[in-house]
């Protein structure tokens, strides 16, 4: 299984691809094996976080472009974070496109609520794992209203 529970936390395997590189493959400018990507085996599912957050070193490896700075509320107060261009994130056979928030290198990869919503995952608190949204019969569905 691609997820584990550790002290009540949900950890998942996430494959993250540089979205710009994927477009370049479609245009025939690079090959699929030239796409910059990273696989994180212990990404922390964090419903208290909004975005997908990656440490600076992973952002550099992926070659992401900075977009803007945005203030965000943290447990230690409001802090300004860099937002980077979109990636394609894959978790348990589902994927979505999402911008990336930079966190310090000593922070884990955080899979926030927006990514969970886009992939229609919810946390099963009893077993500490991701499951398909029961409101949709466990099948991947997005709402358009």
DSSP annotation string for 20-71: HHHHHHHTTSS-GGGS-EEEEEEEEE-TT--SEEEEHHHHHHHTPPEEEEEE
| Mean pLDDT over each residue of the chain, to the nearest integer | 92
Q: What is the pLDDT of residues 5-21, one digit of tens each?
A: 455 789 999 999 999 99
Q: What is the model's pLDDT at position 3?
A: 54
Interatomic CA distance for residues 17 and 75, integer angstroms = 29
pLDDT at 48 over 90: no
Reduced to 3 states (helix: H, G, I; strand: E, B; else coil), residue 86 is strand
Region 3-136: CATH code: 2.40.70.10
> pLDDT tens digits for 75-128?
888 989 999 999 999 999 999 999 999 999 999 999 999 999 999 999 998 888
């Amino acid at each position: 299984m691609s997820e584990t529970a550790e002290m009540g936390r949900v950890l998942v395997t996430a494959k993250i691809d540089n979205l710009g590189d994927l477009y370049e493959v479609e245009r025939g400018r690079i090959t699929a094996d030239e796409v910059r990507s990273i696989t994180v085996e212990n990404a922390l599912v964090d419903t208290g976080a909004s975005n997908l957050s990656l440490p600076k070193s992973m952002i550099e490896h992926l070659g992401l472009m900075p977009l803007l700075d945005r203030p965000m509320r943290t447990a230690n107060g409001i802090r300004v974070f860099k937002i980077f261009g979109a990636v394609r994130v894959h978790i348990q056979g589902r994927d979505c496109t999402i911008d990336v928030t930079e966190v310090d290198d000593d922070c884990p990869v955080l899979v926030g609520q927006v990514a969970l919503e886009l992939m229609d995952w919810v946390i099963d608190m009893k077993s500490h794992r991701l499951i398909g949204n029961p409101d949709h019969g466990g099948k991947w569905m997005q709402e358009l209203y």
